[in-house]
Structure 1
Amino acid sequence: MSFPRNVAALRGRVPLAVASAVALMLVFLPGADGAPAQSRQAVQTVPKSVVRSADAALPTVTVVATGGTMAGQSDTPTSFQRYRAGTLLMEDMLAEVPNLDEVADVNSLQFGNKGSGGYSIAELYDLSLAVDNALRTSDAVVVTTGTDTMEEIGYFLDLTVQSPKPVVITGAMRPWTVIGSDAQANLFNAIVTAASGKTAWFGTVLMLNDEIHAVRDVTKTSAYRMDTFQTPELGVLGYVDDLKVRIMRMPARALRVFETRGSVVTTANALRNWRTPFDLTTIDKADLPRVEIFYNAQEAGGEAIDAWAAAGVEGIVTAGTGAGGISGAAGQARNRAVQAGVMFASTTRTGSGSVYGGSGAVFPADSLNAPHARLLLMMALAFNDGVEDTRADFVEWASLQADITSALPALSTSGSR
């Protein structure tokens, strides 16, 4: 990763001074394996770069397979929508992908083989632990799954995987066995992305249709089109062109690594800023509470909220109109549920934009959509007791931002340019 190349990637998107500083920091980004910092000067230490040297052995990438359309067996070579998802085994699929030995040392783990919507939250708990376990010995992990709930599975991993090594989730909109399938290219490019190491510290990213997205922000927008995944307002992180992985911007999750607050960017400091508090090894899967989603509409009734509260649901996400508004009846039901101990997250049903404000047991979900907010609320409830602590964790990770001004060089106003 050369300094000039990184400046070029950022030019035109942020001021050149900031681009140069960030590019310089990228060179010293802590190693994603958590290795001890390497000495650069007598007065301080700077962790090693995540970039693999040119003469190093190929990176090891583990593909954790869960099924989905990618592993689908079609009725005929042209039955694009008639197929049995989660049929083919990843070991056999990898054997059909050419030139992998030029990219990475690839192995696979068949975690499951079914549609993404068929997985329970308890199974996602196991999947997250399986990914972290694979990252103990591999340089990166690719997770394959169905696209129906891919953004939810990906965000669950983003919130809970404790290793900052690359995690790339992918799938396909057409089954493996039809003509013109996107499955083979998506699998290959996801492995290319993971093996590049360029998304270390990014959290989980989604790679489909040659595009790399931050899984926190991405959403599925079409039932059939291959460019279904879009990131509203913010756009893609980068692209995969042939074997070139081009990163055009860094997500806030990665930029938090540089929030030095006057300290040197060491691996320990970076991990402290980067990791969420949601370490699944400290809880049992049974501790993950039930959280539901209420979709607001014109004159929507509040009976569903009342019923969920009576059933013992601990959290409810409201997908409101505009900036998070809900009907009068739903608002009254929410008040009753809060009195019963239920906590709420407020989102917008518009597809983009942020929700702010809220008080007490009603938390603003910022730019998270309702399915993503549901998972974050689930985590915040599982790892905290009481409204105040739950709200603090939820709001911090919902409004994920980064302030790296303390890590940038000071700019003089005394005539220097």
Structure 2
Amino acid sequence: MNTWKSHTLKWILAAGLAFTAAGLPAIPLPRASAAESGASAANAQTAKSLPKVQVIATGGTLAGKSVDETSFTNYKAGTLLIEDMVRALPNKDKIAEVTTHQFGNSGSSAYTIQQLYDLSLKVDEALKTQDGVVVTSGTDTMEEIAYFLDLTVRSPKPVVVTGSMRPWTVIGSDAQANLYNAIKLAASGKTRYFGTVLMLNDEFHAAREVTKTNSYRTDTFVTPQIGALGYIDENNIRVYRAPFRALKAAKDWATPFDLTKITKNDLAKVEIAYSYQDAGSGAISAFVAGGAKGIVTAGTGAGGISKAMSEERAKAIEQGVVFVTTTRTGSGSNYSEGKGIIAGDNLNAQHARMMLLLGLSFTKDFATLQNWFDTYGYGQIELPAK
């Protein structure tokens, strides 16, 4: 290059730098074409590893095979294998690297607490290598299974429980969409530290608060009064609120219910007694005779029970049985407590049972149980003092 060209090039470069420093537009550099940019982005996405999600299947309607393509209610639950169902999902390779494990293939109410013990340990084992776990389940006792996992799984990684209200093989089934969206939610990592969440019908809910409200409708799961955590609309996963566990410090996040510290034989027997007009004492006395260590009462209004039930409860407390009071109304709080009685706050009866069952599996001390309900069971948000 001759001297004149060299000086000219230096002047142009200096001028460009001066303009840039002054906030004026510099001489634009050549840009890649749109096609080249797209190819580059695609290559970067390919190079980036997808999140790992394992689907652990327990059966339920989602794995159901209908009599024919229009038999919405006539089907056999827990028939299809999760490996085949996941294989049939389109575009899953765009959201996660998905593996499967067939834990079981039954309706949700067929599982024992001892089997849920094994399921929880399996979820934690999977989360040692996976970025998230999806558990498929029947919907009948899904909220109880989800809350058991919520209280026992030690990893803060996403755990999403899903299922369906229509079998896999019927027209208009919600099974495929629910399974796909559950995988997408787990892979997104957006519910990390949320504990276990339940996802159906494009909505996800906190396991502690959600309940089934209808025997057939696809929008059956709701969180009374408080509402869903968020929604999934194709590529948009929106989180509008967080459960109280997400606000806890990492060191305080896990519950005391570490299943590796107990055996299946340590799992306490806890029952639910339902109150109604002039309810008799037979349910409570039979539960105590059957070896129940705790009983949850689903009471009328703000948790009231009949005179006969109240008298029988007093006798049971003298024998060391612990009670938790809840309401049968479907929503609302309960604050009734006393000797041998713990207030269930806004836990419904089935959730309170899981909390009491696990509590009694780890301690027989009433004060400790009360403290665990206060800190882990009630789910109140506590803001730091100023």
**In structure 1, C-alpha distance between the alignment counterparts of 2:78 and 2:235, rounded to whole Å:** 28
Q: Does 1:66 align with 2:58?
A: yes
Q: Which residue of 1 aligns with 2:114?
A: 122
1:405 is paired with a residue whose SS is: coil
Q: Does 1:317 align with 2:309?
A: no
**In structure 2, C-alpha distance between the alignment counterparts of 1:320 and 1:56, rounded to whole Å:** 54
Tell me which moved more, 306-315 or 217-226: 306-315
Q: Which residue of 1 aligns with 2:35?
A: none
Q: Does 1:329 align with 2:308?
A: yes
Q: Does 1:282 align with 2:264?
A: no
Match of 1:298 among 277, 284, 289: 277
1:56 Cα offset (Å):
4.0
Q: Which residue of 2 aligns with 1:204?
A: 196
Q: Which residue of 2 aligns with 1:174?
A: 166
- For 1:99, the aligned partner's letter is N
**In structure 1, C-alpha distance between the alignment counterparts of 2:127 and 2:184, rounded to whole Å:** 16
- For 1:276, the aligned partner's letter is T
**In structure 1, C-alpha distance between the alignment counterparts of 2:128 and 2:377, rounded to whole Å:** 28
Match of 1:361 among 340, 352, 358: 340
Match of 1:188 among 168, 180, 196: 180
- For 1:198, the aligned partner's letter is K
Q: Is the 8 A contact 1:253 1:401 kept in 2?
A: no
1:194 Cα offset (Å):
0.4
Q: Does 1:340 align with 2:316?
A: no
1:307 is paired with a residue whose SS is: helix
Deviation by residue 1:290-323 (Cα, 9 ceiling, x = unmatched) = 1100000011011111121122210000000111
Q: Which residue of 1 aligns with 2:245?
A: 253
Displaced runs of 4+ in structure 1, greater than 3 A?
A: 53-56
**In structure 1, C-alpha distance between the alignment counterparts of 2:124 and 2:48, rounded to whole Å:** 23
TM-score (norm 2): 0.87
Structure 1, unaligned runs of 5 or more: 1-52, 258-269, 411-417
Q: Is the 8 A contact 1:256 1:404 kept in 2?
A: no
**In structure 2, C-alpha distance between the alignment counterparts of 1:235 and 1:159, rounded to whole Å:** 20
**In structure 1, C-alpha distance between the alignment counterparts of 2:374 and 2:275, rounded to whole Å:** 22
- Where does 1:14-413 land on structure 2 (aligned, <5 Å)? 56-257=48-249, 270=250, 272-406=251-385
| Seq. identity, % | 58
**In structure 2, C-alpha distance between the alignment counterparts of 1:405 and 1:286, rounded to whole Å:** 40
**In structure 2, C-alpha distance between the alignment counterparts of 1:71 and 1:396, rounded to whole Å:** 37
Deviation by residue 1:372-409 (Cα, 9 ceiling, x = unmatched) = 00010001101112222222223322211222335xxx
2:248 is paired with a residue whose SS is: helix
2:316 is paired with a residue whose SS is: helix
Rg: which structure is higher? 2
Q: Is the 8 A contact 2:117 2:259 kept in 1?
A: yes
**In structure 1, C-alpha distance between the alignment counterparts of 2:140 and 2:283, rounded to whole Å:** 24
- For 1:58, the aligned partner's letter is L
Q: Is the 8 A contact 2:303 2:336 kept in 1?
A: no
- For 1:128, the aligned partner's letter is S
**In structure 2, C-alpha distance between the alignment counterparts of 1:108 and 1:289, rounded to whole Å:** 31
Q: Which residue of 2 aligns with 1:13?
A: none
**In structure 2, C-alpha distance between the alignment counterparts of 1:324 and 1:402, rounded to whole Å:** 23
Q: Is the 8 A contact 1:324 1:349 kept in 2?
A: yes
Q: Is the 8 A contact 1:256 1:401 kept in 2?
A: no
1:281 is paired with a residue whose SS is: helix
Deviation by residue 1:190-244 (Cα, 9 ceiling, x = unmatched) = 0000000000000000000000100100000000000000000100100000022
Q: Is the 8 A contact 1:363 1:395 kept in 2?
A: no
**In structure 2, C-alpha distance between the alignment counterparts of 1:395 and 1:360, rounded to whole Å:** 16
Deviation by residue 1:66-101 (Cα, 9 ceiling, x = unmatched) = 000000010000000000100000000011100000
TM-score (norm 1): 0.80
Deviation by residue 1:245-293 (Cα, 9 ceiling, x = unmatched) = 1101111111123xxxxxxxxxxxx1x2211000000000111111100
**In structure 2, C-alpha distance between the alignment counterparts of 1:274 and 1:348, rounded to whole Å:** 28
Q: Is the 8 A contact 1:59 1:195 kept in 2?
A: yes
Aligned length: 342
- For 1:88, the aligned partner's letter is L
- For 1:148, the aligned partner's letter is D
Tell me which moved more, 294-303 or 53-62: 53-62
1:347 is paired with a residue whose SS is: strand
**In structure 2, C-alpha distance between the alignment counterparts of 1:311 and 1:70, rounded to whole Å:** 35
**In structure 1, C-alpha distance between the alignment counterparts of 2:187 and 2:286, rounded to whole Å:** 48
